[in-house]
Structure 1
Amino acid sequence: MAKWSAILVILMVVIAALAVEAKWSEKDFIQCFRKCSKNCKKHDGDCFEKCKIKCGGPNPPHSSSR
Protein backbone atom coordinates (compact mmCIF):
# COMPACT_ATOMS: atom_id res chain seq x y z
CA MET A 1 0.00 0.00 0.00
CA ALA A 2 2.87 2.37 0.77
CA LYS A 3 4.25 1.81 -2.72
CA TRP A 4 1.01 2.97 -4.33
CA SER A 5 0.85 6.02 -2.10
CA ALA A 6 4.40 6.96 -3.05
CA ILE A 7 3.65 6.47 -6.75
CA LEU A 8 0.55 8.67 -6.50
CA VAL A 9 2.48 11.41 -4.71
CA ILE A 10 5.20 11.35 -7.37
CA LEU A 11 2.61 11.53 -10.16
CA MET A 12 0.87 14.47 -8.49
CA VAL A 13 4.17 16.35 -8.17
CA VAL A 14 5.02 15.73 -11.83
CA ILE A 15 1.59 16.91 -12.99
CA ALA A 16 1.84 20.05 -10.85
CA ALA A 17 5.30 20.82 -12.24
CA LEU A 18 4.05 20.44 -15.81
CA ALA A 19 1.12 22.76 -15.14
CA VAL A 20 3.44 25.46 -13.76
CA GLU A 21 5.76 25.08 -16.75
CA ALA A 22 2.85 25.46 -19.18
CA LYS A 23 1.81 28.69 -17.45
CA TRP A 24 5.26 30.21 -17.89
CA SER A 25 5.34 29.12 -21.53
CA GLU A 26 2.06 30.95 -22.18
CA LYS A 27 3.47 34.13 -20.63
CA ASP A 28 6.61 33.89 -22.76
CA PHE A 29 4.51 33.37 -25.89
CA ILE A 30 2.43 36.49 -25.19
CA GLN A 31 5.55 38.62 -24.68
CA CYS A 32 7.14 37.31 -27.88
CA PHE A 33 3.94 37.77 -29.89
CA ARG A 34 3.45 41.36 -28.71
CA LYS A 35 7.03 42.26 -29.56
CA CYS A 36 6.84 40.63 -33.00
CA SER A 37 3.42 42.01 -33.92
CA LYS A 38 4.28 45.67 -33.21
CA ASN A 39 5.35 46.04 -36.85
CA CYS A 40 2.19 44.40 -38.25
CA LYS A 41 -0.46 46.54 -39.89
CA LYS A 42 -3.93 46.48 -38.32
CA HIS A 43 -5.60 44.10 -40.80
CA ASP A 44 -2.54 42.07 -41.90
CA GLY A 45 -3.52 38.57 -40.81
CA ASP A 46 -0.47 36.99 -42.47
CA CYS A 47 1.88 39.07 -40.35
CA PHE A 48 0.11 38.06 -37.14
CA GLU A 49 0.11 34.42 -38.25
CA LYS A 50 3.87 34.54 -38.92
CA CYS A 51 4.43 35.98 -35.46
CA LYS A 52 2.34 33.23 -33.91
CA ILE A 53 4.41 30.58 -35.70
CA LYS A 54 7.69 32.33 -34.84
CA CYS A 55 6.83 32.45 -31.16
CA GLY A 56 5.59 28.84 -31.06
CA GLY A 57 2.03 29.75 -30.32
CA PRO A 58 -0.91 27.47 -29.68
CA ASN A 59 -2.76 25.87 -32.56
CA PRO A 60 -6.41 26.80 -33.00
CA PRO A 61 -8.96 23.99 -32.76
CA HIS A 62 -9.34 22.17 -36.06
CA SER A 63 -12.89 20.93 -35.55
CA SER A 64 -16.10 22.77 -36.24
CA SER A 65 -17.57 24.48 -33.18
CA ARG A 66 -21.23 23.91 -34.03
Structure 2
Amino acid sequence: MASGKQDKAKGAANQAAGKLKEAAGKATGSGKTEAKGKAQQVKGGMQKGKGDAKESHKKQR
Protein backbone atom coordinates (compact mmCIF):
# COMPACT_ATOMS: atom_id res chain seq x y z
CA MET A 1 0.00 0.00 0.00
CA ALA A 2 1.34 3.42 -0.96
CA SER A 3 2.09 6.02 1.69
CA GLY A 4 0.32 9.35 1.84
CA LYS A 5 3.33 11.10 0.33
CA GLN A 6 3.49 8.60 -2.54
CA ASP A 7 -0.20 9.06 -3.29
CA LYS A 8 0.20 12.83 -3.25
CA ALA A 9 3.18 12.64 -5.63
CA LYS A 10 1.37 10.30 -8.01
CA GLY A 11 -1.65 12.57 -7.91
CA ALA A 12 0.41 15.64 -8.73
CA ALA A 13 2.06 13.78 -11.62
CA ASN A 14 -1.32 12.69 -12.99
CA GLN A 15 -2.65 16.21 -12.76
CA ALA A 16 0.35 17.60 -14.63
CA ALA A 17 0.16 14.92 -17.32
CA GLY A 18 -3.57 15.52 -17.65
CA LYS A 19 -3.04 19.25 -18.16
CA LEU A 20 -0.52 18.55 -20.92
CA LYS A 21 -2.84 16.04 -22.56
CA GLU A 22 -5.76 18.46 -22.37
CA ALA A 23 -3.66 21.23 -23.94
CA ALA A 24 -2.51 18.88 -26.70
CA GLY A 25 -6.11 17.95 -27.38
CA LYS A 26 -7.11 21.60 -27.63
CA ALA A 27 -4.17 22.40 -29.89
CA THR A 28 -4.91 19.53 -32.27
CA GLY A 29 -8.67 19.84 -32.11
CA SER A 30 -9.02 16.37 -30.63
CA GLY A 31 -11.95 16.37 -28.24
CA LYS A 32 -11.14 12.79 -27.23
CA THR A 33 -7.59 13.66 -26.12
CA GLU A 34 -8.85 16.77 -24.35
CA ALA A 35 -11.43 14.70 -22.45
CA LYS A 36 -8.81 12.11 -21.51
CA GLY A 37 -6.64 14.92 -20.13
CA LYS A 38 -9.47 16.28 -18.03
CA ALA A 39 -10.22 12.79 -16.70
CA GLN A 40 -6.58 12.28 -15.80
CA GLN A 41 -6.60 15.56 -13.90
CA VAL A 42 -9.63 14.41 -11.89
CA LYS A 43 -7.88 11.11 -11.14
CA GLY A 44 -4.82 13.04 -9.95
CA GLY A 45 -6.93 15.23 -7.70
CA MET A 46 -8.50 12.16 -6.15
CA GLN A 47 -5.08 10.59 -5.57
CA LYS A 48 -3.82 13.76 -3.92
CA GLY A 49 -6.91 13.82 -1.71
CA LYS A 50 -6.31 10.21 -0.74
CA GLY A 51 -2.72 11.06 0.18
CA ASP A 52 -3.84 14.06 2.22
CA ALA A 53 -6.35 11.89 4.08
CA LYS A 54 -3.70 9.26 4.85
CA GLU A 55 -1.30 11.91 6.14
CA SER A 56 -4.01 13.53 8.25
CA HIS A 57 -5.04 10.19 9.72
CA LYS A 58 -1.40 9.35 10.47
CA LYS A 59 -0.95 12.65 12.35
CA GLN A 60 -4.04 12.05 14.47
CA ARG A 61 -2.70 8.80 15.89
**TM-score, normalised to structure 2's length?**
0.50
Report which structure shows greater RCO (CA 8 Å, sep ≥6): 2
Instruction: Say which one has the larger Rg.
Output: 1
Q: TM-score under structure 1 normalisation?
A: 0.46
